[in-house]
A and B are shown apart, each in its own frame.
Chain A
């Protein structure tokens, strides 16, 4: 920070998580993200959790600046605690309340010129009515609701893949297969993505369940790669030397 100048280092993202995904399936909501956090182009850590439970029936997954994600979690924790502390017979904050609140927080911070640099997907299944909710908020506070949502590069690479394979009656296994498919595409195309992914499911019966991360298997052993590397590119480099 330059002395005497306004603080600006919070206005650009530094430690960045790449795309997150969310989709509705038969039993509720599935959120997914990989576990890599990038510092510039370097993968600073490959085992970070980028999703969390906000309440017993609501969860969030974030792409973008990871310190801002932690700030969001702090804000949500305080919000949820306030709801519990009232102790008046019910928790009034539902998935839609958290979603709208997030949008207002994001918009306020954006208007301060100091946005929380995240694309967030909030999913929830109300324990009382069983209402299923899936929504996305960007760093300007824009709200989007949908049956499947993608942030970051995935919104460009996986949109059609999701469109073609999404159905309202997907089973958990089918939903997971679609997510893995999309994650594989992201791992191939997005240099900040990793092959270690994590999934959160929210269902009426089990509430929020954050599953352990696991690795998806990529295929790299194509003849194309051998040929390009060994016979085409290397001669050029030797030629230049």
Chain B
């Protein structure tokens, strides 16, 4: 039962989505602000040069897992002088999550992660779940009202394979716009992170975001 509530916590969190091509992975998140005077809560974190995560759910749990992933990547780098394989790291998170489901006195993680990464076996987009399951996708959206974003992604995912990160990011923003409904997307409440085969993970700057948002707003109005 606890797991059902934990999954509910993921659904309460604002939308995060990810999509990938052959050479790039892009993560997009809608950030919430608890109050007009407060800043927006960050939802995309970089883990290592080759990996980043987008979250939906309890930020505190996400930060705990983020710290864990960062230290695992550093340890792997120290011992092997190479990047941590993606699925093996996701597997470690799943193991941690599973333990929390089967002990009385423990609660499951109230957070879902989208892990975007590039490794020896190509680009990857994983979703982790409080239950200890994990899934791999070409494109996925999690969090509140993510269904509209999923619908957009389902309609367009066949185009993604050959795209560069700029085009992927635009698709991501359009998908997020579908979920955001009346909320206007600005450089303050949107985060975009991306990683490529020859591009380290980084977040888009506010200026870059503003120009992409302007571009998709124009094209959406025409359509």
Using CB atoms and an 8 Å cutoff, list the residues of chain A in contact with chain B: 86, 88-90, 92-94, 96-97, 99-101, 104, 128
Contacts and interface: CB of A to CB of B under 8 A. Distances in A.
B78 interface: yes
A88 B82 contact: no
Interface in B64-87: 78-82, 85, 87
B79 A104 contact: yes
Report the 8 A-B pairs with minimum CB-CB distance, sorted nearest first.
A100-B81, A97-B80, A92-B85, A90-B121, A88-B87, A104-B79, A97-B82, A100-B80
B68 to A, nearest CB: 19
A122 to B, nearest CB: 13
Contacts, number: 33
8 contacts: A86-B88, A88-B85, A88-B88, A89-B87, A90-B85, A90-B120, A92-B119, A93-B80
Contacts of A128: 120
A46 B209 CA distance: 70
- Name the prevailing secondary structure of the B interface residues: mixed
A86 B79 CA distance: 18
Given A86-B88, A88-B87, A88-B88, A97 B120 contact: no
A96 B82 CA distance: 8
B86 to A, nearest CB: 9
A97 B81 contact: yes
A92 B120 contact: yes
Given A90-B120, A90-B121, A92-B120, A101 B85 contact: no
Interface in B125-172: none
B79 A100 contact: yes
A94 B120 CA distance: 10
A190 B12 CA distance: 74
A97 B87 CA distance: 18
A137 B125 CA distance: 37
A125 to B, nearest CB: 16
B92 to A, nearest CB: 11
A230 to B, nearest CB: 59
A104 B78 contact: yes
B82 A94 contact: yes
Contacts of A94: 82
Contacts of B80: 93, 96-97, 100-101
Nearest to A98: B80
A94 to B, nearest CB: 7
Contacts of A97: 80-82
Nearest to A104: B79
A3 to B, nearest CB: 37
A92 B121 CA distance: 9
Nearest to A143: B81
